[in-house]
Amino acid sequence: MPNTGSSCTETSASQGPPLWLLAELTYRCPLQCPYCSNPLDFAQHKTELSTSEWIDVFTQARALGAAQLGFSGGEPLVREDLVELIAAARDLGYYTNLISSGMGLTQAKLEAFRDAGLDHIQISFQASDEQVNNLLAGSRKAFEQKLAMARAVKAAGYPMVLNFVTHRHNIDQIERIIELCLALEADFVELATCQYYGWAHLNRAGLLPTKAQLDHAEAVTNRYRAQLEAEGHPCKLIFVTPDYYEERPKGCMNGWGNIFLSITPDGTALPCHSARQLPVSFPSVKEHSLSHIWYDSFGFNRFRGYDWMPEPCRSCDEKERDFGGCRCQAYMLTGDASQADPVCSKSPHHHKILAARAEAEQPQPPIEALTFRNERTSRIICKG
């Protein structure tokens, strides 16, 4: 283990604070999106931190320097103490973001959250089209509910981010998606192409768009951006490309354990929300202080800096830009989390990305054939 007292002290001195806290309040969710970023074995992790445990986490992270707090899940609205958590976080001085599917949201809740000081609500849609949306969500009422709640969010005076996860089944409707977001008066629109972690990785062949689909979507988005800018329109379109079509990896999380701290429902602290799958031991907020976890724990120091890198990253002049890419992607595609992210054309495993691109050019099964994220399937896939 490359973990010694001296290296810890060194990291501690140079490492900045966490600025972002993601609180995954629960893995419970009424939807079944086949690209969910929750771990495949979520059904085995049923325990959730209590109200006071969460507030203690918020207090510690705020003292370390975290300023942005995202309430996520699962669907955070299923937590009955959400109003209390929002109020506590806002009192501590966080900018509070509710990241929700909109399922379970009501006018009364919107008002209670606003009174508690909630700063912003992000609502995710599955598609611009009712039928596709509901198929993907695994719910017959999802689309109607989301539309109603998006309107209510704006009416209640919140800034709103609309999030559309795009993939081969909905990316060709990007124009309708953008039009819908503008009609709903979104302040920010995230057109986020699936990132292939968790359930999305399991369903990758059925989700990855073709290069032509992606190019089309990007061109449409750029056309709208130019139009919005010319109008002085405040809505901002954020287009997230799938890194499978890149030649260099993303600088994942701005570097491992650099600014981002994620807490899972049971209190496991992670440097990114998908890191739980890695063969690395991560600390729990039930056993350690957040200060120890952030600055001194093995898990958070595992891929900090550059000393852990093998070639081709070690001698690469771009390593300070992309940190070797994503550790989870390296692990999923090569079996070794310290390898270069195979997205990089310098990686000896880059052929796996090329094979996925080739696979995307082939006909793929319909939406109904994807593996949906639910407890039953989670238990079948992952034996406890």
Partner 1 sequence: MTPVTRDQVPSLRRGFRLQWEPVQNCHVLLYPEGMIKLNDSAAEILQLIDGTRAVETIIAQLDERFPNVPGLDEDVLAFIEVAHAQHWLQLH
Binding segment for partner 1 (CB under 8 A), chosen from 117-125, 297-305, 326-334, 338-346, is 117-125
- Judge whether 33 is annotated as a binding position: yes
The residue type of 196 is: Y
Span 4-33, contacts to partner 1 by CB under 8 A: 17, 19
According to CB under 8 A, which one of 81, 187, 218, 266 is a site residue for partner 1?
187
Size of the site for partner 1 (CB under 8 A): 23
The least CB distance from residue 120 to partner 1, in Å, is 4
Smallest separation (angstroms) from partner 1 to the CB of 359 = 32
68 is a contact residue toward partner 1 (CB under 8 A): yes
CA distance linking residue 299 with residue 261, whole number of Å? 12
Does 236 interact with partner 1 (rule: CB under 8 A)? yes
**Strand partners for 95:** 68
Q: Which is nearer to partner 1, 64 or 86 (CB)?
A: 64
Rg of the chain over CA atoms, in angstroms? 21
Binding test (CB under 8 A) with partner 1, winner from 34, 39, 70, 342: 70
Answer whether 263's CB lies under 8 Å from 293's CB. Answer: no
CB of 159 to partner 1, least distance (A): 3
Per CB under 8 A, which of residues 248..287 are in contact with partner 1? none
Q: How far is the CB of 91 from partner 1 (least distance, A)?
A: 13
Q: Is 181 annotated as a binding residue?
A: no
Over the range 67-93, which residues count as b (16 or more CB within 10 Å of their CB) and which as e?
ebbbbbbbbbbbbeebbebbbbbbebe
Of 187 and 375, which CB lies nearer to partner 1 in the complex structure?
Answer: 187
Helix (H) or strand (E) holding 239: strand 236-240
Does residue 120 touch partner 1 according to CB under 8 A? yes
Q: Are 214 and 193 in contact (CB under 8 A)?
A: yes
DSSP string, 42-83: GGG------HHHHHHHHHHHHHHT--EEEEESS-GGG-TTHH
Report residue 348: phi and psi, to 5°.
-65, -10
CB of 73 to partner 1, least distance (A): 16
Q: Taking the complex as a whole, how short is the minimal distance between the CB of residue 19 and partner 1, in angstroms?
A: 7
Which residue, 225 or 236, has its beta carbon nearer to partner 1?
Answer: 236
If binding is defined by CB under 8 A, does position 298 make contact with partner 1?
Answer: no
Using alpha carbons, select from 98, 95, 94, 90 the residue that is nearest to residue 116: 90
Counts of helices then strands in the chain (DSSP H, E): 16, 9
Measured between alpha carbons, how far is 272 from 253 in angstroms, rounded to an integer? 7
What's the closest the beta carbon of residue 17 comes to partner 1, in angstroms? 5
Does residue 124 bind partner 1 (CB under 8 A)? no
**Contact present, 23 and 34 (Cβ < 8 Å):** no
Binding residues: 29, 33, 36
Residues that bind partner 1 (CB under 8 A): 17, 19, 64-65, 67-68, 70, 93, 95, 97, 119-120, 122, 157-161, 187-188, 232, 234, 236
